[in-house]
Amino acid sequence: MDRKEFLQKTLMSSLGCCAWMTMDQNTSLSADAGTEEQMKQLQYEKQFIENWVTDLIETMEKELDEPTRIKLMAGCARGCHRRHKFTQDIVEAGKGNLDKLLEAYKKSFGIRREGDKVHIFYGRGPKGCWCPAAQDRPAHPKDLHCECTRGKHQHIFETALGRPFKVEIVETIRRGAKNCHFIVHLT
């Protein structure tokens, strides 16, 4: 290969590399622009859902009596239980046996038994409340969303042990406390 041929091939290779790099950069720029648009769309959708849930909860609080509100939130609690393997695992591990149920609970929650009461407690999540549906909504002293959590603990106990239980909300992060604390009444 002579010098002229060498320079031509080198130049062609360089041009090819430059063209490839430019195409790759343009693709990256297009992807970045697409990603930016997708992010804007996702943020819009997230804000829309947060506003919609806030409107729903506020309407429930204004228009429905307390027993109806609690029933609706209990339905959400059962749905949440169906979607989360860790709560299903608690039920399965404690099926028919209170001591086994409490041991299974300890993997995810603080548990303390005092006679005929079981205290369930846990601290703040990364955004305060652990529930993604509640995290970005304003909290208030009688926050209805806590009925969902109460209902989930009630559903876990009732499903595992096959009988009704009363679960009491003592305090929650959404209602202004530093921790969440529920009591399951065993009798």
pLDDT tens-digit readout, 75-122: 999 999 999 999 999 999 999 999 999 999 999 999 999 999 999 999
> Helix, strand, coil % (nearest 5) of the chain?
60, 15, 25
What does pLDDT average to over the chain?
85
At residue 32, the pLDDT reads 66
At a CB cut-off of 8 Å and minimum separation 6, what does 152 contact? 77, 78, 80, 81, 87
Residues across the chain: 187
Listed residue (107, 109, 108) closest to 121, CA to CA: 109
**Stretch 12-35: mean pLDDT, rounded?**
48
